[in-house]
Chain A
Amino acid sequence: MDKESVRIEFTVNNKEVALDIPADATALHVLREMLSLTGTKEGCGIGECGACTIVVDGKAVNSCLMLGAQLDGRMVTTVEGLATESGLHPLQEKFMEGHAVQCGFCTPGLLMSSHALLEEKENPTRAEIEKAIAGNICRCTGYQQVITSIETAVSERLDGENR
């Protein structure tokens, strides 16, 4: 059974990639299986858990619901692209310090959702933070330490800017 394949070119974590993918492959499949970016997780495959969240052109999306073909021409960030040469992203640091990570399976998704929020909003309210992560299910933490960690990342960024 030969499947139709399509060629896509996009930027992932600041790297340009070009590859042929099966036309029906999800973005999640392309990232995990074809590009070995296994930091993005599959928890349900149907858009209910948020473990597969990536940032596409600044927006947090469920990569299990997106076709790989739709990645063509886009700017994609996955959890592997959060840290830079100068170190971890502040959200990553705060998640670690704030004990927001237990089993860690939901963590990449939560990081990407909050990353998209922090890129969009300078000083999000608690309600905005909650809304941003409302699609990310975490069965371990009860979210409280996650929210606090995001809030700390926000406030430290503001402090840094005001200094």
Chain B
Amino acid sequence: MEQQFRVVGNSVPRSCSKAKVTGEIKFAADIKLDNSLVLKTKRSDQPHALIRSINVEKALAVEGVRSVFTARDIPGKNLLGIINKDQPLLAEDRVRSLADAVALVVADTEEAAERGAAAVEVEYQELEAVFDPVEALKEGAVQVHEKGNLLSCRKVVKGDVEAAFTSAYSVIEKEYTTSSIEHNYIEPDAGAGYVDENGCLVIYASTQNPHYDHKEVVGLLGVADDEVRIIQATTGGGFGSKLDLNVQGFIGLALYHLKCPVRYVYSREEAYLATAKRHPFVIRVKTATDKDGRFIALQMRAVCNTGAYGSYGMAVASRSAVHATGPYAIENVDVDVKCVYTNQTFCGAMRGFGAPQMALAHESQMDLHAQALGLDPLAIRRINGLRAGQTSATGQLLTASVGFQDCLDAVAPYYEDAKENWLSAPTDPFKRRGIGIGGMWYGIGNTGVQNPSTARVEMSPEGKVTVFTGCADIGQGSTTILAQITAEVLGLGHDDITMVVGDTGCTTNAGATSASRQTYISGNAVKDGAEKLANVLLTEAVDRLRAPKNSLHFVDGHVAVSIAPEIRVSVAKLAKRIHDKGGTLSWQGFFDPETVPLDPETGEGVPYATYAYACHMAQVEVDVLTGEVDVKRIVAAHDVGHALHPGNVVGQICGGVAMGVGFALMEEFEPGKTESMKDYHVPTVSDVPEVVPIIIESPEPSGPFGAKGVGEPALIPTAPAIINGISSALNKRIYDLPANLERVIEASIQAGHFRVQE
């Protein structure tokens, strides 16, 4: 029987949306603390150099400058990083990229801070720099870190690829590259802080992970846990880059020394210069099929450039290796992904963690094989697409909620229709049309490591419910969804739930808002807390209603007997009784997905408890003379388990597609060259296609009410679908992203389209 839900599954109004449309809501840059001083960093102007000396005299002499801090002023551990600690807040003896901060200036005004930063004198001894990750791996290459340039390597090995290649019907080997990408959230990083009456350093920050920020600032300053409090300010998008410390450490350092309010708002230029980017990849891949189009082997050697610091690089390498096969069952796999240090701006997490880069490769190979065998692109995906009961390359048996085939089925009618009625419709003689398919899978949560979430669900003696969660809502809507989950369990309305979010003074760790994990993992943690609370309420109700527990349910703020709903007692009354008896109304929830760490040599293990699946179809029109690509429509089918808030899911899909269009066609961050939004183009309304979002619900048994996640999956299939569309339009494939005007024209010329037709 279909389960009936009251609150989840409805697109209720999102939390804070009213304050957002009236302009009342305060983002970090809007927080005004009285007599606040302003921070600014002096950044390296060398990609790689030893620091001979730092002279702050002149900076201190600038009118309005209060203090200048360098690495020496950091009382605790001057090393940051969520996975491996390799990034100093302020450079000590060397700089490894243009983004490195050397000194922190505190001043009365922005202008004074800027002049102060400019007046800091740094004497460098230039070192040779390395920017290419392949070069960086060669013997004798300049070492970016003492331990060498290879940060990590993830292997996934299964079966015998060589044997499979020998017996294969068709073998195709290609190389793909992807570019560095700027997240370009519209709110530049910002924060503000003050010291409260107890001496605690209170820091408001635009962040995706307040509890991690807390840990890092505590370590940096060498203080006790309760001496720092991070409060997540309303956060204007993050997409992965606000997982690293951006302004938090600087604010903490200034507060520690000066004990007076400070603020730090990055200009867009500083946000470009100093924050993490998406890892560019070089991917060499060889795949083989049998004569029916079944993929029998995949071999991949990939290198990703993490720049000067690790940030989330190891996670990106790990996830990309696991996702190398795409959502397809392949018996023989040999994948090796290396994450390499260079002197570029550091790269970290960005929506998809390497999976979008992998998708370019596996989806292009899919189409190449289809072409080689004369198969339809959708058909070859159906043949190879994962189904429940199959095993992944890491040896994980996929038991349930494997909705990839459903996604293909959902796209199929649009595909057939487009082929029939759109593809050959008359068009400008210099325009060619193409249809492309892109598939993806995406493991929810961190890769093969523990990544628990906790939450506290509390009821007052008057029956009012408050949820305390460290889960940062960065605009994707997690706060709303967690309130819905709590309300569903307790028979309340979503707006009966007060949400206290991302304040390390009173919330507990929910882990990062990343890896599309919050609905699934924090959703389950909140559900766990709510169910524990529900249990004591039910126990109390048994007493009141004289009916067994399993005959009771929550409805409209009451506990009622299921078959005689008029027999009921209000939740408030139950809460009061529990409270008066000295019982507890405050419950901690916990969830950690069941995973098994990956074997370092073979990658065997259970990296994720569940996976989301998707298929996009792109209809593109290519101008063979200008290289312009007009993406007309994206049909996007996503298996999300259960859409707890369909409005949010659609929002993620449409937003992901837009970002995918940018990744496919226009975005490329070039360190040292890309300085402002004038140099970097993200899709505007005129660049985004019509999106047809299709929600597939293949419930995940371990998910909260069946839910999985959608944030990152939304972006992943778009670029490969577009590239496959362009390739079919031009009869010529593009292997490097972005497929910008130059590359498309080049392909057009090579394919012989670039000429006047009679």
Q: List A contacts of B588 (CB < 8 A).
A: none
Given A41-B187, A103-B235, A144-B654 in contact, is the A82-B22 Cβ separation under 8 Å? Answer: yes
Does B597 count as interface, using CB distance less than 8 angstroms? Answer: no
Instruction: Tell me the count of chain A residues lying within 8 A, CB to CB, of chain B.
Output: 52
**B residues near A, CB below 8 A?**
11, 13-14, 16-18, 20-27, 29-30, 32, 63, 183-188, 234-237, 239, 267-268, 474-477, 647-648, 650-651, 653-659, 676-678, 682-686, 688, 690-691
Interface of A is mostly: loop
0/1 string, A26-50, CB within 8 A of B gives 1? 0000001000111111111110110
Q: List B contacts of A104 (CB < 8 A).
A: 16-17, 20-21, 25, 234, 236, 475
Q: What are 6 of the A-B contact pairs (CB < 8 Å)?
A: A36-B32, A38-B30, A104-B25, A138-B655, A139-B658, A142-B653
Residue among A49, A101, A137, A146 having the largest count of chain B Cβ atoms under 10 Å: A101
Which of A66-101 touch B at CB < 8 Å?
78-80, 82-83, 88, 92, 95-97, 99, 101
Given A46-B676, A80-B23, A103-B185 in contact, is the A137-B684 Cβ separation under 8 Å? Answer: yes
Shortest Cβ distance from residue A25 to the other chain B in the assembled complex, whole angstroms: 11
Do B11 and A99 touch (CB < 8 A)?
yes
* B475 interface neighbour in A38, A79, A102, A134, Cβ under 8 Å: A102
Q: List B contacts of A99 (CB < 8 A).
A: 11, 14, 647-648, 650-651
Q: List A contacts of B188 (CB < 8 A).
A: 42-43
Q: Bound state CA distance, A146 and B651, in angstroms?
A: 10
Does A141 count as interface, using CB distance less than 8 angstroms? Answer: yes
Q: List A contacts of B17 (CB < 8 A).
A: 95-96, 101, 104
Q: List A contacts of B650 (CB < 8 A).
A: 99, 144-145
Do A49 and B658 touch (CB < 8 A)?
no
Sorted from nearest, which 4 A-B pairs have the closest CB atoms? A39-B23, A103-B475, A105-B236, A104-B20
Do B11 and A88 touch (CB < 8 A)?
no
Does A107 count as interface, using CB distance less than 8 angstroms? Answer: yes
Q: Bound state CA distance, A105 and B23, in angstroms?
A: 9
Given A83-B22, A105-B187, A107-B20 in contact, is the A48-B648 Cβ separation under 8 Å? Answer: no
Q: Bound state CA distance, A40 and B23, in angstroms?
A: 7
Given A46-B678, A140-B237 in contact, is the A101-B20 Cβ separation under 8 Å? Answer: yes
Interface of B is mostly: loop
Do B268 and A43 touch (CB < 8 A)?
yes
Q: List B contacts of A138 (CB < 8 A).
A: 186, 655
Do B237 and A139 touch (CB < 8 A)?
yes
Q: List A contacts of B475 (CB < 8 A).
A: 102-105, 140
Do A41 and B27 touch (CB < 8 A)?
yes
* B21 interface neighbour in A1, A36, A92, Cβ under 8 Å: A92
A-B contacts besides A103-B187, A145-B654, 11 pairs, CB < 8 Å: A39-B24, A41-B29, A45-B267, A83-B22, A92-B22, A104-B20, A105-B187, A107-B21, A137-B684, A142-B683, A143-B685
Does A130 count as interface, using CB distance less than 8 angstroms? Answer: yes
Q: List A contacts of B691 (CB < 8 A).
A: 142, 144
Residue in B closest to A146 when the chains form the complex, CB atoms: B685
Q: Bound state CA distance, A88 and B20, in angstroms?
A: 12
Does A51 count as interface, using CB distance less than 8 angstroms? Answer: yes
Shortest Cβ distance from residue A117 to the other chain B in the assembled complex, whole angstroms: 13
Q: List B contacts of A139 (CB < 8 A).
A: 183-186, 237, 239, 655, 658-659, 682
Q: Bound state CA distance, A111 and B656, in angstroms?
A: 22
Shortest Cβ distance from residue B239 to the other chain A in the assembled complex, whole angstroms: 7
